[in-house]
Every structure is written in structure tokens, then in C-alpha cells.
Chain A
Amino acid sequence: MSEPRANGPELSVEVWRGRAEGRFQTYRVPLRPSQTVLDVVTYVQRRIDPTLSYRFACRVGMCGSCAMMVNGAPRWTCRTHVARVAKDRRLRLAPLRNLPVIKDLAADMTPFFDKWREAEARFLPSSPRAAATARIPPADPERAAADAAIECIGCGVCHAACDVVAWQPDYLGPAALNRAWTLVNDARDADRRAHLAAVAGDAGCHACHSHQSCATFCPKGLNPTASIAGLKRASALALLAGRL
């Protein structure tokens, strides 16, 4: 291993090592003009400590694999420039909150994906495979509502930011509920009422306290709180109308 250069400005990086039990270990990493948090972690693994574990894939904010806690906040690390988050040239990196730790900075995202299934957050087809595609103008209000919430990359940042997820483990969480909202607004879906019913229970949309942490931290600029508010309204109306 080549030793890090001692001259030039450096970052002091505290990194979680271990699993549920562990400790922070401090590394000194050279500061560079073009440097993301993922680059810092990579430097540590390649140049200082080859035993460090973390996860990434696409490098460009499309896969949602690399999120972790950066100075206490959940962030996608491949697109978080060090200059934006390092206070006094210090970083403190930990695995994503509200998920089990596999090792070091790699969290087990399985419980997060399981929420999708529990929320029945998947499209239910209404047309045969070879049918012409549904004619839905982009200006259609439902399409616009679906579009506003559609570009989720499943990075888990909202799940880590959410206090309700922390308090109530069976809560479906902002990401799965946000997806449910796109389906409730999807004229092509075969059973929109079923999507609503799946998220109307105690662990669903009504558990949200509207703290807005999901919207604050979503790296894609989505607003799951607004989607969940939409679900609350729609499920209340459906209940009053006896349709739920």
C-alpha cells in the first residue's frame, strides 16, 4: 500500500468500523478539488485500510446503492462533494440509519425493499400485453401528480431520515408510500383502490407526522411528505364514500 502523502491539506475522516457494535476510526485523507464522499471512502480502502467495507455501483446518482450518514445526515455519497459537507475539514461517516449494519459502512437494505412489497407498491396491469398504450396527455392532472413523484432511485435516504421509521418499525415509510401515490394516480392501473387500501392501515400513510425530513434530504428533490398527504386525503375520502 502506498502511504498517503503528508503534505497538502487533509481531511480528518471518522469512519464507523464494525457491525451493530463497533467504533469510529479516524483516517487522514488528502483534500482534492474534485472529491466526493465516495472518493474519500475509496481512498481509505485503497490507500490506507484495505479492510474497509462500503457499497456503491453506478457512481452517478442513478442506482441508489451508496447512501450513508455523513456528519449525521443521510446522503448519496457519489454526488456529495466534500466541500459542501466537510465542516472544518472533518467528516464523520456511518452506515445508513434505521437499517441493520452488514459491516462498516454497508447497511442491509432488505427491510427497506420489503416495505415495497408490504405496501403492494407495484403496478397492476389492466391491458393485455400487446394493447396500444393508454392515451394520457402529459398535462393530465393525475399524470402530473404521478410524474412529480416518479423519479425515486430507492436510495433509502428518506427511510434513514424519517423519525417515524425509527419509532415504528412496521411503518411502510416514505419511499414505498411515495410509490403507492404514483400508482393511485395511474389511470392504467387495474386496482387503484387496492393500492389505497394497502396503505390506509395503522402502518400506512396515517402514521406519517409530516416532519418533512424525507423531503428535506431526498437527493432527487422529491417530496414524499406531499405524496403521503395525498394518500391521507384520498383514503379519507374513499372511507367516507364507503369505498375502502
Chain B
Amino acid sequence: MAAAIERLATDVLILGSGGAGLFAALHAHKAAPALDITVAVKGLLGKCGCTRMVQGGYNVALSPEDSVERHFMDTIQGGSWLNHQELAWILVVGAVERVLELENEIGCFFDRNPDGTIHQKAFAGQSFDRTVHKGDLTGIEIIGRLAEQVWARRIGRLEEHRAVALVPAADRSGIAGVLMIDMRSGAFRLIQAKAVLLATGGGPTMYRYHTPSGEKTCDGMAMALRLGLGLRDMEMVQFHPTGLLAGPETRMTGTVLEEGLRGAGGYLLGGDRERFMHRYDSRGERATRDIVSRAMFEEMRRGNVTPNGGLYVQMGHLGPETVRRLFKGMVDRCADCGFDLAGGLVEVVPTAHYMMGGVIFAADTSTAVPGLFAAGEDTGGVHGANRLGGNGVANSTVFGGIAGDVMAPWVAREGRIRDPDETVIDETIERCLVPFRRPAGDANALRDRLAELMWEEVGISRTAAGIRRALARLDGLAEELGRTGVAEAERAFNLTWHDWLNLESLILVSRAIATAALARENSRGAHYREDFPQPGDLATSAYTVVSLRDGRIEVEAQPVAFTRVRPGETLVAGAGVPRAAAAS
């Protein structure tokens, strides 16, 4: 018998309201204005998620002296040759169209040169200054404008709706819809849809220090695993070197202090107040994100730490006034929290920032399940082993727009409301209600233990022994969570219940990360194995694919197809062997 829950139907259901979700909604609406489109989001439309938090900007080859081939080569070298090259090509070509669309149609007012042309700034790991931006708050300009365009159209929105299962058709012919919890009322709600876009974003918040927004807990990847989809490159988790370390029990800890601080000449100091980076890399503090993060981790492991267990960033030697002028946003933010970035020392720590891995998807954003599409940080393959700063927002907006373009005609051609698999609905409801059937416990203490475990054993520097320990303990944490309850006061806006559900997603995706990390016995991009420090043979590069089978995470290796360029070659005319661009 079908569960007695509210059931709604829509033509296109979009999960997430970052760059991918909002572009998909606008493009699908433009392609077929009569379509019933619904955007469902865990927070408020346009307010949660990570596109909004973009500080740096948007990589795009606009200048006549630049080229999409150069952008492509930077992306492939940054990704240590693991990228899906067709997806990376679509990224660099699509970025040109999308950034013009953002400026000309959506209304983003990007910063200009004195002559009125678009300003493009330098960003690490790139052979050309190609990052379009609006000050250091580019994400707000992009998402704010997109949200205004969505509000103005007949596009439905379900805010504070948490997706808990991608529900397949009873006959397994495709996707039937998404089971959600209306967080405001606490009620389950099935949204049946002809097409579903998975665009919830990633967000490696299972690490002790992390940058993403608080609601990000890898729910999309967890749902994809449960549906049986394969996820690639899950061992590739990017750490940003300078997260703010404000002490325990403050949500400020882990948030990003921008890349530019090091680029401008900022120093990193140990607890002994001495610089240390030159001992690790001749570029010192200006080495790439992965190298600086590893050096910092090593220094912390040696115990050369600040009172809160991190390191210091020092800017004052550049002149406090200069620092204030160059980094107003960062100086203000630190000052609000009681720290003097311009003149004093601020404690920092490497912080988990972005997941390069995710759901395997095709160039038209389709997945292995008919009717289910995916775009943005939920997906894997575009960035390979590491992501260039400025390619994240390009990824979500380029592929989100494509998803909208593709879903509209797909719905007209093949779309239908399919009967949902009621077993999946019943089992998911049962799973979500587990905490109300157990004695109330402290799920947040479990989350702290998860964060500690992932940080120590599956973080910046990994070994087989450590990853194996982590896998065993992750199983233990999952069991403990299953015994840990939440006091059932009322289900409406019950954050503690959602903390429990968040933790469930995080533990499952942590298992996927650890399994992939154990399988990759070399060091590429963001993945560093102390026991296998070499990158391995580039010509025979393989990527990992994890999937969930009968409750176990399985992993396999797939060869990378060098469809456009092989290691040692370049697409940049006259460049010879391209210089090693570093990922950042």
C-alpha cells in the first residue's frame, strides 16, 4: 500500500538553487515556457549553497590573446590528466557563452577596466589572466541576479525542502520523483516529476575544518549512491590553505580567508612565529594550494602550532593600510570576529573546500537513469584530480544551463510521470524516522568524531593503514548513529533531526571517499598518499568509480580516454610542451 503522504506533480524538478539549479530553471523555462518547473532547495532560494560564496571569480577565455585551448590545457594540467576531456572542453567553450549571458541577459555587472571593457584578473595555476569578477563577492552578484530572474518568472519554489531519496519508477524504467521533507512542517512529501535535475552541490563538510555553507552535507551524492549510480574521482577533495581558525564551538572556524593574501606577499608562520614554507617549496607561501596545505598539515603534525592548534597568517609587514585597501572584505570580516588581519596575526588552518568527484554524467548532463540529470558539484569528471580557482562557478553555470536546454525537449519527447517504487518510499521514511525511535543521544558528538577521523586519516595526507582504520571506524560510526536518537518534540523546523540526517549522508559519502582513496595507489592533484608519493604513469591514467551494492561500497578503475590531447601534448599552437600549470 502506498504511504499516506502528500504527493505533488511537476514537469521538471530541480534540486538546488546554486548556479546549476537556477540556470537550469531559466533555460528550461525559456525553451518551453508552458513547462511546470519547480526548484526545491534545502535553504532559501538563492541563499544557500556555494555558488553564492564565490569570492574569486569566473574563468573564461574572452581576450583575443587568450583562447579556449589555453583554458582547456590549464584545466587538464590542473586536473593531472584525470579529467573527462569532453566535459572539460564543454566547460571552457561554454564558459564564454555563459559569462556573456550573465552580463547581457541576467544582468550581472562585472568589474571593468578603465576603458570600460571587462576586467579579468590573475588566478593561480593559469597561463592567462582570465578571471571575470565583481569585486571579491562575485558569487553574490551572480546568484542575486539569477534569483531575481527566477522570482520574476512562473517557476515554482519549494524552499526549506530537504531531498531524502531519488525515487525510481516501480518498473525501474527511469526516475519517478524525489521524496522530500518539508522542513518547516516536518512532513514527508513526494514530488513526482518527468525529469529531475540533481544540482544540490557537494561540500566536504565531513572534515574538521571546512569552508562550505552549513547546510551542505553531500545529500545529493548520498542519494545518488543509494539509487545505484556510480561516482567517480571521490578521493579528490580540495583543501584551501587559509581557513580561519577561531577556536572550538564557533561557526567562523574553517571559513576561507582568500587566496590573494598569499599571492600579495602574506607570510605563514608556525607557532614559533617563524616562516616555514620555504622549507617545503622554493615558491614559499605562493606555492599552489595542495602544496601549501600539505606543508601546513606537516608543520601542525610536528606540533609547531598556535594556541588553537593551527598556524598564523601575517600581513602587517605589507603595511596595515595597504592590506586594508587590498583586502577590505577580509579585513572587515576578521575585525567583526575580533581579529586584526591588517596589522596582527590571525590563526589559520587548511580547510576542506571542494569535491572534484561526483556522479558520472554525460555531456548533455544525462545520467545512467532515464529522466535524471545532474550538474555542478554533484558531478565528477570536469575537473579531474584538482580544480582551478574560478572553474567551479563556470562548471555549475555552464552545465546547469545545458541541463535546462536538454530537459525541456526531453520532457516533450519522452517525459512521463512514472509510478514510483513504493518500497523505496517506505524504506526511506522508515530510515529517516529511526532517530525518533531511539533514546535521545548526542548526534553532534558523533559528527565531531567523524570530522576528526576524516581530518586525521583521509585528509590532506593519507596512508593505506590510516584509510583502513578510517573505514573500520566509519562503519562503527554508522552503527552508533543508528542507535542515537533525537527527542521527538515536534518535527517542524527540527534542526536536530536534520543534523542527524546530515550526518547519515556525510558518513555514507565519507565511506565513498575513503574507499576511493585506498584504491588510488599514487598521488595526483588533491590526493596525496605518503606511501605512494609519485603520480604514476600519466599515459595509463585511470579514474576510480565507487558504487553502493547491498550496503557495501565497491570500487573499480576505469582508463581515462584522452579524446582531445594526450599527456605530453598540447592544444596551444606554438606552445610546444606546455609548462606545468599548477592546480589551485
Verify if A43 is at the interface (C-beta below 8 Å from B): yes
CA distance A31 to B159 in the complex (A): 34
Please indicate the chain A residues that have their CB under 8 angstroms from the CB of B251 in the complex: 36, 38-39, 42, 56, 59, 78
Neighbouring B residues of A103 by C-beta, 8 Å: 184, 492-493
Known contacts being A65-B43, A150-B141, is A138 close to B114, with CB within 8 Å?
Answer: yes
Q: Are B148 and A129 in contact (CB under 8 A)?
A: no
Residues of A within 8 A of B145 (CB): 122-123
Query: Which chain B residues border A125 with CB–CB below 8 Å?
Result: 104-105, 107
Q: How far is the CA of A201 from the CA of B402 in the complex (A)?
A: 40
Assembly CA distance A140 to B113 (angstroms)? 12
Residues in B whose Cβ lies below 8 Å from that of A130: 97, 100, 104
Q: Is the CB of B333 within 8 A of A39?
A: no
Contact with B along A133-168 (1 / 0, CB 8 A): 111111110010011001111100000000000000
Interface digits, B40-58 against A, CB 8 Å rule (1 contact, 0 not)?
Answer: 0001111111001100000
Bound complex: CA A121 to CA B147 (Å)? 11
Choose from B151, B256, B493 the contact partner of A106 (Cβ within 8 Å). Answer: B493
Interface of B is mostly: loop
Whether the Cβ atoms of B112 and A54 lie closer than 8 Å is: no
Query: Chain A residues near B440 (CB, 8 Å)?
Result: 1, 50
Residue of A54, A83, A138, A186 touching B111 (CB-CB under 8 A) = A138
Stretch at the interface among B132-140, B406-414, B514-522, B547-555: B132-140
Q: In the complex the two chains form, what is the Cα distance from A62 to B258 in whole Å? A: 14
A32 to B104, CA, bound (A): 48
Question: Which DSSP category, helix, strand, loop or mixed, fits chain A's interface?
Answer: loop
User: Once the chains bind, are B48 and A122 in contact (CB under 8 Å)?
Assistant: no
Residue of B nearest to A109 (CB): B44
Q: A113-B151, A151-B140 are in contact. Are A57 and B104 (CB under 8 A)?
A: no
The residue on B at minimum CB distance from A45 is B495
Docked Cα-Cα span, A136 to B48, in Å, equals 31
B residues near A (Cβ < 8 Å) are 43-49, 52-53, 97, 100-101, 103-107, 109-112, 114-118, 134-135, 137, 139-141, 144-145, 147-149, 151-152, 159, 184, 213-215, 246-247, 249-252, 255-256, 333, 336-338, 440, 442, 444-445, 486-487, 489-490, 492-496
User: A151-B137, A186-B107 given as contacts; is B47 within 8 A of A46 (CB)?
Assistant: no
- Cβ-defined contact, B112 with A137, below 8 A: yes
Which residues on the A side are within 8 Å of B107 (C-beta)?
122-123, 125, 183, 186, 188-189
Query: What B residues does A106 contact at CB under 8 A?
Result: 493
A: interface residue count bin: 35 or more
A32 contacts B47, C-beta separation under 8 Å: no
Residues of A within 8 A of B140 (CB): 62, 151, 153
Which A residues are closer than 8 A to B by beta carbons?
A: 1-2, 32-36, 38-39, 42-43, 45-46, 50-65, 78-81, 83, 102-104, 106, 109-110, 113, 116-117, 120-123, 125, 127-131, 133-140, 143, 146-147, 150-154, 179, 182-183, 186, 188-189
Instruction: Tell me the bound Cα distance from A106 to B185 in angstroms.
Output: 13
Neighbouring A residues of B256 by C-beta, 8 Å: 60
Inter-subunit contact B47/A154 (CB<8 Å): yes
A122, A129, A186: the one contacting B101 at CB < 8 Å is A129
List, in ascending order, chain B residues with CB within 8 A of A189's CB: 107
Contact indicator B213/A50 (Cβ below 8 Å): no
Measured between beta carbons, the chain A residues less than 8 angstroms from B112 are 135-138, 143
If A123-B145, A133-B117, A179-B148 touch, whether A62 touches B52 (CB-CB below 8 Å) is: yes
Question: Judging by beta carbons under 8 Å apart, are A36 and B252 in contact?
Answer: yes
B214 touches A56 (CB 8 A): yes
A181 and B416 CA atoms in complex are apart in Å by 44
Report whether A32 and B184 are in contact in the complex, using a CB–CB cutoff of 8 Å: no
- The residue among B45, B104, B487 with the most chain A CB atoms within 10 A of its own CB is B104
Contact yes or no, B250 A135, CB < 8 A: no
Inter-chain CA distance A33–B339, complex, in Å, is 11
Inter-chain CA distance A52–B492, complex, in Å, is 10
Determine if A55 and B109 form an interchain contact, defined as CB atoms under 8 angstroms apart: no
Say whether, besides A57-B215, A63-B52, A151-B135, A122 and B151 are in contact (CB < 8 Å): yes
For A188, list chain B residues within 8 Å (CB): 103-104, 107, 109
Given contacts A58-B48, A62-B140, A103-B493, 11 further A-B contacts (CB under 8 A): A35-B249, A53-B495, A57-B48, A57-B213, A57-B214, A61-B333, A123-B148, A128-B104, A129-B101, A135-B112, A186-B107
